[in-house]
């Protein structure tokens, strides 16, 4: 069993037995050539309350989580007009003079990270899950958290951007509601009581980033838009504007460029679910390179449990022949591990 001191070593299938040399791995990341399908999950039968809808959607979710770890989510109920409004606000924000954006600090508080980081300013991010050493990232981000206590505001908002805050908060609330609707699907997929996860999501992490990737002229030299990594969420909901650039590691070990399917969100499972399921579900590596001639915008929302939630292998994913591979750990501690703190 792994110890608390090395809490999640190997949690992300970020380090499966190497199939390829490091040089070959990097080539595969840089030049995605897989034609394997990223599946689509339509959750509307469940949201509509169709008889058997929850069970069917959960069965598909389970299959996807065991095999690919990424899917296009259709029928999620978030209006496309809201997604478009939040992209418009993101463009406005990133178009501000750098002095204005630079005045927003990058804040580390308890289990949260928020604020603004300009292009190339990312530091120790994801220290324990970066797939290749010395990779560089080239994106700018504005990140807000879900305030754990609404009386104490941690988020720092840009000045003189009327309407920005309310649209971003509206989208964050919509994704939080969506994430919570997934909890009974996860319980069903794992044959757990329907409300199994609820008490761990009373004050969830709902971390939203407005990402901006300037065009990158050349591929190679370990330079990425965002370096190859896994996420530390339970699941991540990604909205992409109309510019590709994200690629995902597929089961063969080859990488696949993600399509943009209008009306869908791209969803992936993160390291926490790997730990809950004793490695049954995946946390799949991904990276971005924006080789287009125009800026790329994307908006991931990282959905995770309460900071104090104890992540331990769920009862249905362990047994005499399948002992827990992970010690219980709080989500707060797992985040510190992720960031190498
Ligand atoms: O911008 C994207 O498409 C992906 C972003 C991402 O992977 C992340 O922020 O963790
Ligand atoms: Fe990611």
pLDDT for residue 128: 61
Q: How far from 249 is each of 254, 283, 339, CA to CA, in Å?
A: 6, 10, 22
Going from N- to C-terminal start, the domains of the chain cover: 3-338
d(CA 57, CA 59) in angstroms, rounded, equals: 5
> Could you tell me the distance, in angstroms and rounded to a whole number, from the CA of residue 307 to the centre of ligand 2?
20
d(CA 121, CA 8) in angstroms, rounded, equals: 26
- The neighbourhood of ligand 2, an ion, using CB within 5 A, equals 231
Question: What atom of ligand 1 comes closest to residue 213's alpha carbon?
Answer: 1
Mutate which of 232, 300, 304, 338 to test ligand 1's pocket (most atoms within 8 Å of Cβ)?
A: 300
d(CA 289, CA 295) in angstroms, rounded, equals: 11
Domain over 3-338 is classified CATH 3.40.50.150: no
CA dihedral 64, 65, 68, 69 (to 10 degrees): 130
d(CA 188, CA 179) in angstroms, rounded, equals: 15
Nearest to 95 by CA among 197, 210, 188: 210
Per-residue pLDDT of the chain (341 residues; tens, 9 = 90+): 433 333 444 444 444 556 788 899 999 999 999 999 999 999 999 999 999 999 999 999 999 999 999 999 999 999 999 999 999 999 999 999 999 999 999 998 888 889 999 997 876 566 666 678 888 899 999 999 999 888 888 999 998 899 999 999 999 999 999 999 999 999 999 999 999 999 999 999 999 999 999 999 999 999 999 999 999 999 999 999 989 999 999 999 999 999 999 999 999 999 999 999 999 999 999 999 999 999 999 999 999 999 999 999 999 999 999 999 999 999 999 998 888 77
CA angle 84, 85, 87 (to 5 degrees): 65
- Of the listed ligands, the closest to the CA of 238 is 1
Hey, whose CA ends up nearest to atom 9 of ligand 1?
300
pLDDT for residue 8: 42
Mutate which of 125, 226, 234, 302 to test ligand 1's pocket (most atoms within 8 Å of Cβ)?
A: 226
pLDDT for residue 13: 40
d(CA 66, CA 280) in angstroms, rounded, equals: 6
> Could you tell me the distance, in angstroms and rounded to a whole number, from the CA of residue 231 to the centre of ligand 2?
5
Please list the residues that pair with 112 across neighbouring strands: 109
d(CA 302, CA 283) in angstroms, rounded, equals: 13
d(CA 227, CA 54) in angstroms, rounded, equals: 36
DSSP line for 272-328: HHHHHTTTSS----EEE---SSS-EEEEEEEEE--TT-EE---GGG-BTTB--SS--
Question: What atom of ligand 1 comes closest to residue 211's alpha carbon?
Answer: 1
pLDDT for residue 17: 53
Nearest to 64 by CA among 180, 208, 231, 185: 185
Question: What atom of ligand 1 comes closest to residue 286's alpha carbon?
Answer: 7
> Could you tell me the distance, in angstroms and rounded to a whole number, from the CA of residue 52 to the centre of ligand 2?
32
Residue 314 tokens, joined: 């769920």
Q: How far from chain centre, in Å, is Cα 42? A: 19
Q: Is the pTM of this model over 0.85?
A: yes
Q: List, chain by chain if needed, residues with CB within 6 Å of any ligand 1 atom.
A: 209, 211, 226, 231, 238, 240, 246, 286, 288, 298, 300
> Could you tell me the distance, in angstroms and rounded to a whole number, from the CA of residue 323 to the centre of ligand 1?
33
- Of the listed ligands, the closest to the CA of 266 is 1
> Could you tell me the distance, in angstroms and rounded to a whole number, from the CA of residue 101 to the centre of ligand 1?
20
Whose tokens are 């190859």? That residue is 228
């Amino acid at each position: 069993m792994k110890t608390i001191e090395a809490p999640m070593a190997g949690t992300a299938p970020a380090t499966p037995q190497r199939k390829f040399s490091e040089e070959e791995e990097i080539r595969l990341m840089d030049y995605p050539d897989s034609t394997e399908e990223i599946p689509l999950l339509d959750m509307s039968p469940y949201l509509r309350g169709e008889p058997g809808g929850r069970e069917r959607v959960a069965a598909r979710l389970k299959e996807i989580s065991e095999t690919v770890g990424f899917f296009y989510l259709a029928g999620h109920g978030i209006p496309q007009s809201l997604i478009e409004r939040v992209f418009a606000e993101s463009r406005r924000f990133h178009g501000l003079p750098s002095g204005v954006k630079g005045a927003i600090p990058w804040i580390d508080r308890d289990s949260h990270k928020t604020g603004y980081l300009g292009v190339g300013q990312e530091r120790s991010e994801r220290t324990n899950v970066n797939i290749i050493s010395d990779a560089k990232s080239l994106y700018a981000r504005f990140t807000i958290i879900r305030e754990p206590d609404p009386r104490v505001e941690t988020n720092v908002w840009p000045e003189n951007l009327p309407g920005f805050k309310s649209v971003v908060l509206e989208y964050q609330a919509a994704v939080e509601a969506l994430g919570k609707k997934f909890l009974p699907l996860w319980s069903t997929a794992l044959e757990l009581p329907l409300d199994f996860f609820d008490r761990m999501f009373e004050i969830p992490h709902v971390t939203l980033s407005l990402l901006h990737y300037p065009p990158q002229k050349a591929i190679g030299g370990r330079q990425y838009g965002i370096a190859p990594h896994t996420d530390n969420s339970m699941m991540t909901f990604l909205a992409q504007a109309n510019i590709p650039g994200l690629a995902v590691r597929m089961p063969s070990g080859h990488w696949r460029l993600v399509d943009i399917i209008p009306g869908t969100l791209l969803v992936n499972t993160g390291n926490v679910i790997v730990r809950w399921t004793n490695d049954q579900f995946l946390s799949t590596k991904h990276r971005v390179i924006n080789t287009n001639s125009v800026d790329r915008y994307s908006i991931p929302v990282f959905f995770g449990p309460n900071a104090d939630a104890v992540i331990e292998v769920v009862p249905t994913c362990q047994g005499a022949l399948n002992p827990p591979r992970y010690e219980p750990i709080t989500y707060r501690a797992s985040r510190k591990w992720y960031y190498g703190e």
